[in-house]
Structure 1
């Protein structure tokens, strides 16, 4: 017989006490969060009821309108798969999210363990009003798009494994091995009691859905333990039912039920859109009403990403003119929401993504000015608030705005061809890429909160000597100083006399490569010994614009020469054409049958207009898109990198002249040579490009602004004006029971 020593007994008791503490600590949230038991003994905190969600609180069920925000996984300088956000950062955000009036966070995929740890700890400190979340499960999106078959074993099994891991992560029992681009680690915090519901998948590629339906016509009639399909369900809808049933069976192992949904978007919605031009945008449906739950007290809901500018029927479909604003303007977005809710009678409809970005760049046009970009922060807030009210007033189950923070890694269709190399996109902030600016939290480049554009250059004195470069004095100019950050090139200039836009026009040319325009109407009679790629003109507000040499014009080279959607001439692409074009962005491609129902012309908008104003957030005149201001003899200016032809300023890459293998390409620049001059309106005389008798101005003798490549970014955060507007809107919304 072996005797236990007192020391061993003490250690055993300590170990048992530690294990007991872990068990109590792990399940503590479940004990603190009020819930009810379903018929089979499972806990239920949220459930669907007719067209809305309900929460069990204070001993009864009450309507719950989701006021939410989509939370991204990335920070500036990182890809989302690197998951860099710390526990402390999350908890800081959680407080700000609640202060904004939101009650729910939506996440798209499994996040690092610190997210769930931060959420549990935050809610334990706010037991009277916890912050809830919706857990998304990321589908194998790239494989689905490339292989166009959801039933392939590797896709089917990969998604089911991801669902299993997501459930275990939420309930704090997962041990996920490291895999590049995905969350991993030991999950030991039980966030399940704070879960509103599940949300599986991503925006479905219509060609993949059609292909899956065609290849697997025998995959119908699925009857699961908790989720089944109705007669008439397609094979892809059958696949979704299988995945949701798999999730439900995983969750009941933890003693809980939560409402179930799959992600959908307008492109694959179940409605018909007579005003849509592009065939693929109305080619196939994924219909949430073809699925049903049973033995699942928490219920089932439909979830949609719905933006007011895409697809194009949101501004073209005259069948959606039944809802009008007070001034008689058709609100097509609200009409769409009404049809969407009517189709899903009996189940709640959640708008899980909506909003507009605060970007200079525009990618699509919408009705009522609700474009995809071209908004400052104030207009972003006004539009997002109006969209929120549209969703609420149409009686939908919730509104989750996109997004919480700006995301530098994002791309968009009309600037991605100019971002080379694309794997460095995360290292700079492209003001023309609207997708990078959806947040209500501004992720600002390094000097945005240090250099305020307001015509007062006193803040430039705070810059260290190695952060700025002073150029030589030139006729008409006392001094010009330049600096940069991850988003802009900054210029501070002191003129010899106060600037009068009624009497003169101020120009600054930019040379980054051999080539470009050595002459032009902007230069008067002057000739340069080296050409300019771009030139910006400052005068009256309507004249403030950046232009690009016609043979360097990225827009016409891509959509004219390469795609044949714009008329082009040999003259405009000749070296030293003498013509500077407006800087344009495409907002709609030329569409022709059979891809389109009818011919639709190419569409473009100006991206080079330079707004005059102040970037001081404390000023009542604040304009987040202000690019210049002048007071007396002092000029302050900031120019987005891409407007100067940069494809990646972090590695000094600019778009080169011509093409390689039929495509645009990048090459390294030495830096920026700035060429300033002033034109008198009275006689078109030029000040600053040598004396009147000089034949050619020696641009090549001017200094070059140089900087070192960077691989790490500096950034700061602040709330946008749109945050304050969403805060006011969310706090004003009544609970459904109070309507």
Structure 2
């Protein structure tokens, strides 16, 4: 009996192990989601019908509006392709995204396995209301631009393999080798996220010169008639290539027992609409028309996907033919007009705007109409603009609107700051002048975001362990303290008497390098033994700003031969005594024949320092607040790049050396010196009468220095004001609508 009992226990133990192992390997496939099944046994959850997308739910097909958000692939301190985002991060984010009112996440490329596992697990717990996703497939962008020929066998083969890898990853049936340097994810993909897929978006934004090069080189290429997709008569060569790629995705997916709606990525630059008022020829050079491709035998259907921002290309601001429609406020609205013209150009298929939005950043890269610039917005302004754009997209009859983006991405670059920083260090600091990093509604703030609030109260400084007192002897200042994080250099000063910005000004000169201004009107007769690179003036709202020594003005040095008006030779001299506004370019000088019309160089002042409160719990919170004073306590935070830093994590600043091939040389410095003074009644406090005979000893002033950080960053994750504004806007939308207004009406 005992032997039988032992045998039964062993058998039971073995069965338990086998069952556990079976469950472990099979559970990713145990997905229950309502879908319809074709006669062939293929499952379909979403399909296109006319100009709508439909979802199969409650045993019927229902119109569906994709209220989505794009999601990046990494977090601060990491570049794409690095294993950085955990399952716990994803699970938390998915809950926040659904709570915001979104029903779809769009990703651009194959994500790490953790994404698909986390989504499958999340949706297993939310079977009645799952969170869907749009899967993008990254095209070999660099090779396409370099080769200018999409039919190059190496490019074609590489993209086809990427498509097959993406489909296998979504359905949990592959192992991929990661390529961190190229940003490609990898690992063991075993969780089946396919049932939660809403659709596929093949490729990335297409370079117009590459498209034209492909068309010119392959004008006689035959039509593509695939098993599931084909091009229509009149398609150009690149569109035939795209038909092949979309069909490759379909042929690969059907092997896993599913069909989902298909699209390819597109943007305004290669849309099928003429932009007669667009200055740049390249922005209206060639069309990639989604209506030139059709489904031959694909029940899930086909849709168009466009990235549409209100500030790029420039015709949004300059082309009067795109200002025919007025919005709900009665304003001529080029974005609304464009949406309606684009929709009219795709009469028989659904169209989604799969990128839209503006960033909350100090930096600006393009100017739009109605204040919809690429940057320069507070979190509140970002949310209000994003909500307006969403309502216009929805009201124009689109099938979906996917906001760009979920989380801030420190590693990103922008055309007008990328020459000022170090490419391999961007992920390790928070550069608020690089607008591209701050489109997120989930903010990724520098490490002291919760420790220091700019509010004119020194209480939070008393809790800091890493602050440093600067032994600066200056009339009007009792104490000066400094600290820093990944985004800012912070200063707190206790003044001898309350500060009235309407009657006096506080100046902080900063010194990082030998050279710069040792005199100037702002010094009111003082002279220094060492020059200043930048100068901060705090007074009333119109005058508070940071300026830069004219011979250190990196903006002027970069664009002197690219459209800026002639620079006075005096400004190039050391100790010119001239401080210039801190500017960023927003458009190049455009001239015929590269441009249809001549258009002047454009730039904006980004050194304006707003007074306000940076505490997000306050009703008067301003995410752009850089200084505040209450009585005798002054607080400010200074963005690193405004101080000339190309990488604060290695104490690297742009130096005075001439640039080489549009790249500035950098110098590793020991830190920053501050030179403070107060001007009252047009006189420096403590220096009545004539200017002192001896220069102020800047070189003897204490240096604020810090230990550099390599790849370990601290950051604070916090929803922006824009998150809550978008939450309200998204929750008011329940399905697609039919537009009632047409362009020009």
TM-score normalised over the length of structure 1: 0.96
How far apart in 1 are the matches of 2:14 and 2:680?
Answer: 91
2:431 pairs with 1:430: yes
Structure 1 window deviating more from structure 2 (276-285 vs 498-507): it is 498-507
Deviations 1:388-410 (A, max 9, x none): 00000001000000000000000
The within-5 A match list for 1:591-606 is 591-606=590-605
Cα distance between partner residues in 1 of 2:521 and 2:78? 44
Alignment of 1:234-245 (within 5 A): 234-245=236-247
Unaligned 5+ segments in structure 2 are 1-6, 740-745
Match in the other structure for 2:458: 457
Separation in 2, partners of 1:573, 1:297: 67
Distance 1:28 1:662 in 2: 57
**Using the alignment, how far apart are the partners of 1:7 and 1:213 within structure 2?**
72
Over 3 Å counting, the alpha-carbon distance change for 1:481 and 1:580 in structure 2 is: same
State how 1:467-546 maps to structure 2 within 5 Å: 467-546=467-546
Once the two structures are superposed, what CA deviation does each residue of 1:582-629 show, in whole Å capped at 9, x if it has no partner?
A: 111111110111110011100111101100000011111100000000
Counterpart in 2 of 1:202?
204
Give, in angstroms, the shift of residue 20 of structure 1. 4.6
Pairing 1:342-353 to 2, within 5 Å after superposition: 342-353=344-355
Task: State the shift of 1:737 in Å.
Answer: 7.2
Partner of 1:154: 154
Is the 2:394–2:736 contact (alpha carbons within 8 Å) kept by the matching residues of 1? no
Which range moved further: 33-42 or 159-168?
33-42
**TM-superposed deviation, 1:13:** 5.1
Label 1:46 to 1:11 Cα distance change in 2 as closer, same or farther (>3 A): same
* Greater CA drift, 498-507 or 660-669: 660-669
Q: For the residues of structure 1 that align with 2:623 and 2:375, how far apart are their CA atoms?
A: 13
Q: Retained in 1: the 8 A contact 2:397–2:737?
A: no
1:238-263 Cα shifts (integer Å, max 9, x gaps): 11111111111111111110000000
**Maintained 8 Å contact 1:213/1:236:** yes
Q: Which residue of 2 aligns with 1:107?
A: 107
- Deviation, 1:71, is 0.4
Aligned to 1:54: 54
Q: Cα offset for 1:680?
A: 1.4
CA distance in 1, matches of 2:48, 2:472: 69
RMSD (CA atoms) = 1.8
In 2, Cα distance between the equivalents of 1:112 and 1:244? 23
Contact 1:690 1:697 in 2 (8 A): no
Q: Deviations over 1:139-166 (max 9, x none)?
A: 1111111111111122111111111111
Match among 345, 358, 375 for residue 373 of structure 1: 375
Contact 1:559/1:566 (8 A) holds in 2: no
Quote the offset at 1:658 in angstroms: 3.2
Q: In structure 1, what is the Cα distance between the partners aligned to 2:724 and 2:689?
A: 51
Contact 1:223/1:229 (CA < 8 Å) preserved in 2? yes
Q: What corresponds to 2:194 in structure 1? A: 192
Structure 1 residue ranges without an equivalent (≥5): none
Q: Tell me the equivalent position of 2:341.
A: 339
Q: CA deviation at 1:9?
A: 7.3
- Distance between the aligned counterparts of 2:26 and 2:648, measured in 1? 53
- Tell me the distance in 2 between the aligned counterparts of 1:202 and 1:326: 33
- Matched residue SS, 1:82: coil
1:415-441, CA deviations, whole angstroms, 9 ceiling, x for partnerless residues?
Answer: 11111x221011111111100110001
CA distance in 2, matches of 1:563, 1:316: 21
* Segment of structure 1 superposing worse, 689-698 or 597-606: 689-698
Q: Out of 20, 23, 29, which is 1:21 matched to? A: 23
Q: Secondary structure at the match of 2:384?
A: helix
Residue 286 of structure 1 corresponds to 288
Q: TM-score, normalised by structure 2?
A: 0.95
Q: Distance in 1 between matches of 2:659 and 2:586?
A: 25
Contact 1:677 1:689 in 2 (8 A): no
Aligned-pair distance for 1:40? Answer: 2.8
3-state DSSP of counterpart to 1:736 = coil
Task: Report how far residue 7 of structure 1 moved.
Answer: 10
> For 1:172-191, what aligned pairs fall within 5 Å after superposition?
172-180=172-180, 181-191=183-193
Give the 3-state SS of the residue equivalent to 2:657 in structure 1.
coil
* Larger mean Cα displacement after TM superposition, 502-511 or 723-732: 502-511
1:408 equivalent in structure 2: 410
Partner of 1:37: 37
SS in 2 for 1:592: coil
Residue 95 to residue 684, structure 1, CA distance change in 2 (3 Å): same
Equivalent residue, structure 1, for 2:253? 251
Report the alpha carbon displacement of residue 685 of structure 1 after superposing the two structures with TM.
Answer: 3.7
What is the CA distance between 1:16 and its match in structure 2?
A: 5.6
Q: SS of the residue aligned with 1:368? A: coil
- Asked if the contact 1:679/1:687 (under 8 Å) is kept, the reply is no
**Other-structure match for 2:4:** none
Deviates more, 1:496-505 or 1:451-460: 496-505
Question: Matches of 1:213 and 1:8 in 2, distance apart?
Answer: 70
**1:691, distance to aligned residue in structure 2 (A):** 9.0
Shift of 1:219: 2.2
Bigger Cα displacement from structure 2, 8-17 vs 72-81: 8-17
Number of the residue aligned with 2:580? 581
Q: Identify the residue that residue 710 of structure 1 maps to in structure 2.
A: 709
**1:351-366 to 2 correspondence within 5 Å?**
351-366=353-368
Shift of 1:325: 2.5
Alignment of 1:54-73 (within 5 A): 54-73=54-73
> Which one of the candidate residues 253, 263, 266 is aligned to 2:265?
263
After TM superposition, give the deviation of residue 697 of structure 1 in Å: 1.0
Give SS of 1:667's match: strand
Counterpart-to-counterpart distance in 1, 2:248 and 2:598:
45
* Superposition deviation, residue 23 in structure 1: 6.2
Contact 1:119–1:191, Cα closer than 8 Å, also in 2: yes
Partner of 1:84: 84
SS of 2:126's partner is: coil
Shift of 1:502: 2.8
Once residues 118 and 289 of structure 1 are traced to their aligned partners in structure 2, the CA distance between those partners, rounded to angstroms, is 36
Give SS of 1:253's match: helix
Partner residue of 2:447? 446
**SS where residue 419 of structure 2 aligns?**
helix
Cα distance change of structure 1 residues 688 and 448 upon mapping to structure 2, 3 Å threshold: farther
- Partner Cα distance (1:326, 1:127) in 2: 38
Structure-2 change in CA distance of 1:528 and 1:71 (3 Å): same
How far residue 285 of structure 1 moved from its aligned partner, in angstroms, is 0.6
Deviation by residue 1:349-390 (Cα, 9 ceiling, x = unmatched): 000000000001110000111000010000000000000000
Cα distance in 1, alignment partners of residues 484 and 130 from structure 2: 42
Deviates more, 1:493-502 or 1:93-102: 493-502
Residue-pair matches, total: 729
CA contact (8 A) 1:689 1:697 kept: no
Identify the residue that residue 556 of structure 2 maps to in structure 1: 556
Alpha-carbon spacing, 1:371–1:564, altered in 2? closer, same or farther (3 Å): closer
- Partner of 1:308, secondary structure, is coil
Using the TM superposition, give the Cα deviation of residue 287 of structure 1 relative to its aligned residue in structure 2, in angstroms. Answer: 0.5
- Contact 2:397–2:738 at 8 Å: present in 1 too? no
Task: Select between 16-25 and 191-200 the one with higher mean Cα deviation.
Answer: 16-25
Question: Secondary structure at the residue paired with 1:697?
Answer: coil
Q: Deviations over 1:298-322 (max 9, x none)?
A: 0000000000000001111111222
Sort the Cα spacing of 1:564 and 1:343 in 2 relative to 1 into closer, same or farther, 3 A: closer
Q: Could you say which residue in structure 2 is the equivalent of 1:731?
A: 731
1:193-231 CA-to-partner distances (Å, cap 9, x unmatched) read 100000111111111111111112232310000000001
Contact 1:678 1:688 in 2 (8 A): no
Q: How far off is 1:27 after superposition?
A: 2.5
Q: Which moved more, 1:98-107 or 1:9-18?
A: 9-18
